[in-house]
Every structure is written in structure tokens, then in C-alpha cells.
Amino acid sequence: MTRPHRRTATGNALALSACLLMTLMTFVRPAAGADAGEAGAQASVRFDLPAQPLDAALVVFGEMTGYSVLVSSQLAAGRMAAPVRGEYTPAEALQRLLVGTQLGARFSGSKAFTLLALAGEASAPAPAAAPGEPVAAAPALQAYAAVLQRSLTRALCRLHPDAFGRYRLAFQLWLDERGKVRDVHVLEPSGVAQRDHAVLARLRSLLMDGAPPAGLPQPLTILLTPRPDPGADCAPYLALAGAP
């Protein structure tokens, strides 16, 4: 079964104003293993997306599909996403969305990707490569996207195991050369001031699992959204709560 979606990003686009956008979203985890996850990634969705600024379109796309994206807003700035109307798998919809942008998608997992400029493609539409078939290489950025997601999910799951994945919160992070947070700023509060204060306090003491790659644009803009199965997202970290 497919569901129609017609979405544009509105005031929440302020979360796109920094150098990086990373939406930390997840998808419904099937009871089976990786094969079922791959099958879920191929399920069709009915899209009804108008042409709109690419950075706004990526937020909508991520919210609809559960895909995670890390993209430099310097790449997205000034680019328009093509309209996507019809029933497509997320990968097919992403390919159509990127037509005319001269950007390609490189997947780091079945539902996680970054956008990269296509070398030597000044006017050609940008294809979205299938997982495992990258358009261009950016290993440092890819690896650090995973570091960010793992570090933040672990910290916030342990902070609020009964709340993580059940609220929406957007914030900016600045990291030092070691990967320690040196500043944090809320862009879109969750609506619960006490929780937001606790999250900020935890983030200010957070050291990521690895140092950021040289030249990583900052600040990093993180958008947390409700997750279909937050208990499953947190379970690995709660089981190892005694680990650093």
C-alpha cells in the first residue's frame, strides 16, 4: 500500500541555514534481518512534491522516507529540486528530485546518504546511485556522518531513554579538533523546556567518537525527528550503558 504525500518545508527551513544539514531519522525496523530492511527501502511511496529549494526538499524527503542525509548547504544553496509526483521507491524519487542539480547521492547504508557534486557534469542531470554504487567518493564525510549519528544517538538515548525518538528538536553544534562540542545552539525547541535544557547540558560535555575531518564546514545543524521504533534505536546503547 502507498500513501500520498504533498509537502513543502516552511519555517523549519531555518535548520538549513548552517553549513551542514544532518537529519537523524530512522525507519520502521522489521522483525527480520537485513534482507527485510532492504525490502523496506524498496517499498513504493506516493509522492506529490512541487519544485522547491533543494535544502527544503531534502528535509521533506527525509521526513517522508526515513532516509538520513548529510549535505553541505554550500552545495545545496541556490539549487532547486525537481518536482516529484507519482509512486516511486525512495531511491527512484531521490533520483528524480536531483534532476538538474548536478549533484549525486552516495549511500553509506540502505537509508543514509550524502550529496556530492558530480565531477565533469556541468549540465547533466544528477543520478542517484544505488546503495553500494557511489557517484563520487567522500570517505571522510561519509565516515563522520556515521560518527555523528552514533555519538548523538548513544548520548541522547542514555540521557532520556523513555523520550528519545519521540520529539522533534533542531540545534547547531560546533566541534573542536578532537570532536568535543565547544558550543551548541537550539534552532527549534522540542516544546518541553526542561528536556531541552538537559539535552543542551549533555551536548556541551559530549565528545564524539572521532575527530572531525579537516575542513569540515561548521556549524553542524542537527534535526531530530520522532522515530517509529525509538526503543529499538536505543536498545544497543542502553545494553552497554556502562561503556564510555
SS (H, E, C) the chain: CCCEECCCCCHHHHHHCCCEEEEECCCCCCCCCHHHHHHHHCCCEEEEECCEEHHHHHHHHHHHHCCEEEEEHHHHCCCEECCEEEEECHHHHHHHHCCCCCEEEEEEECCEEEEEECCCCCCCCCCECCCCCCCCCCHHHHHHHHHHHHHHHHHHHHHCCCCCCCCCEEEEEEECCCCEEEEEEEEECCCCHHHHHHHHHHHHCCECCCCCCCCCCCCEEEEECCCCCHHHHHHHHHHCCCCC
Backbone φ and ψ for 137, nearest 5 degrees, come out as: -95, 135
CA 93 to centroid of chain Cα atoms: 16
Segments of the chain with pLDDT less than 70: 1-41, 70, 72-74, 108-110, 119-139, 141-142, 240-244
- What's the confidence (pLDDT) of residue 191? 92
Nearest to 22 by CA among 177, 141, 130: 141
Residue located via cell numbers 531530530: 224
Nearest to 152 by CA among 200, 185, 197: 200
- What's the confidence (pLDDT) of residue 152? 92
For 167-222, the pLDDT digits (tens) are 888 888 899 999 999 999 888 889 999 999 999 999 999 999 999 988 777 778 78
Nearest to 225 by CA among 44, 69, 6, 39: 69
- What's the confidence (pLDDT) of residue 241? 59
Count of other CB atoms within 10 angstroms of residue 77: 11
- What's the confidence (pLDDT) of residue 112? 73
User: 89 - beta bridge partners?
Assistant: none
Nearest to 69 by CA among 13, 109, 119, 127: 109
- What's the confidence (pLDDT) of residue 41? 55
- What's the confidence (pLDDT) of residue 17? 28
